[in-house]
Each structure stands twice: as C-alpha cells, then as structure tokens.
A and B are shown apart, each in its own frame.
Chain A
C-alpha cells in the first residue's frame, strides 16, 4: 500500500464520516460545519486527482460561498432549530432504504464494467499547462464557449432571481403603493 493510497483512504473516510454527520446532526449549525469538512475532503481528493484548479474552485465556491450562505440561512431561520424535536421525518427509513439500495446497485454495476475494474493506474497527464488548456477550451468557439456563456447567464439569472424572491414583503404604505 503506497502513501497515496493511505492518504486517499484517510481523506475519504473523513469525508464520508463528515457527510453522514451532515445528514444526522440534530443542530443545523453543526451540520453546516460538518458540510464544510466534507467539502474540504472532496477538495483534497481533487488534489489527489491532479485537478488543482478544481480544488481551488471547490474551496472558494463550495466552502467560501455555498457553505457560508447555508450557515447564514441557518442563522436567519434560527428559531426553528430547537423546537422541532427530531431532525428527521417519519419516513426516514424509506429514505435510508432507497440510499442503501442505490449504493448497492451502483457498486454491483461498477463491478461489471471491465474498463473500471482493470483501470488500476491513471493515464499520464498531457504535456503543457492544464490550467491554460482549460481556460482556452472554455472561451474557444470550437470548445466550450456556448456552455460557458450559458452558465454565466444562468448565474446572473439566479442572482437576480434570488434577490427578487428574498426581497422583504411589501408593506401597505404610501411608498409601497407607489412602487
């Protein structure tokens, strides 16, 4: 067993334990903090996969933006954290059953694909700077320019949409009527 394998096992075990705690913690703030640890573990797995740019993006977007946004949402809806009793609904067993069945199915399916089970080592990374390759591909007309532009429009629409949705309720005042 090589050092890379040991690192992988430790990191993935941490990630999975943190993921389980995300879905089982009673307090939502604790769940959000476990989510940070879990997503950080995924970032380390990206480093092991030699996708350094995606690891940085994972830390900046997932941990820096999404997890912080979730913590803000938990704190804005704080009153509901304690007085609801159990954090899981009465059909939790069905959810657990679905998750276990899906996992078993995926593992069985993975075992039957020969290119996955025999692919023991990664192919060599091509020569040249990966990051500039990715950057060129994202703005290349023959590459991924259209999905990239669509993604930026989607982000803008999501930004404006969430501003509109989360706007405070209009009060029945003169000012509100004029608007």
Chain B
C-alpha cells in the first residue's frame, strides 16, 4: 500500500512548481496555469487526507467538489480579464500591465 506521505510530498512538489510558475512567468496565461497547478495539488492533498484519515466521513470529497467549483470560476474570470486586457492594450505580459502602478 502507498504511504500517505508519498501523496503529500507529490502534492507539495506540484504546489511549489505552481508557485514558481506564478512568480516567474511573464505571460499572464502562464501565471494562470501556475495557479491551476496549485489548485490541483490542493485538491490532491484534500483527497489523500480524506482517504487515509477520515474515509468514513464524506467531508473530504465534498470539500474537493467545492474547490473544483472555485477553480472553474477562477479560470473563467481570469481568462476573461486577460482577454479584456489584450483587447485594450494588445499585451498579455504581466510587466506591461501597469496602469495602476506609479
């Protein structure tokens, strides 16, 4: 049987890769991809904890379903923002989107 810590380490590695993507990517779509990786790692963590610690209660899976809904709405709104910015400024590079910067 697979130990719980293996799942947690894989999820932690995936989360950290996502953080690197969010911090280092220039392209705003790339930043969103990093966020998706982080959310997927979080869901993996939740499901692993549910399976190993409280399989008798369904709360872990219910929590994961809610996180799925949040991830879907986050992707929709984020990509809509990126497309709107691209229409107005013809760029998706995060450094060049600096209207609010002074």
Contacts and interface: CB of A to CB of B under 8 A. Distances in A.
Interface of A: 2, 4-5, 8, 12, 15-16, 19-20, 22-23, 28, 31-32, 35, 38-39, 42, 45-46, 48-51, 53-54, 57-58, 61-62, 65-66, 69-70, 72-74, 76-77, 79-81, 84, 86-89, 91-92, 94-96, 98-100, 102-103, 106-107, 110, 115-117, 119-126, 130, 133-134, 137-138, 143-144, 147-148, 151-152, 154-155, 157-159, 161-163, 165-169
Contacts of A45: 7, 10, 44
Contacts of A148: 62, 65-66
Interface of B: 1-10, 12-27, 29-30, 32-34, 36-37, 40-41, 43-44, 47-48, 50-53, 55-56, 58-59, 61-62, 64-66, 68-77, 79-84, 86-88, 90-95
**Which DSSP category, helix, strand, loop or mixed, fits chain B's interface?**
helix
Contact of B50 (A51, A72, A107): A51
Given A91-B23, A122-B1, A165-B81, 4 more contacts: A51-B51, A61-B71, A94-B23, A95-B19
Nearest to B95: A89
Contacts of A76: 83, 86
A70 B29 contact: yes
A24 B72 CA distance: 24
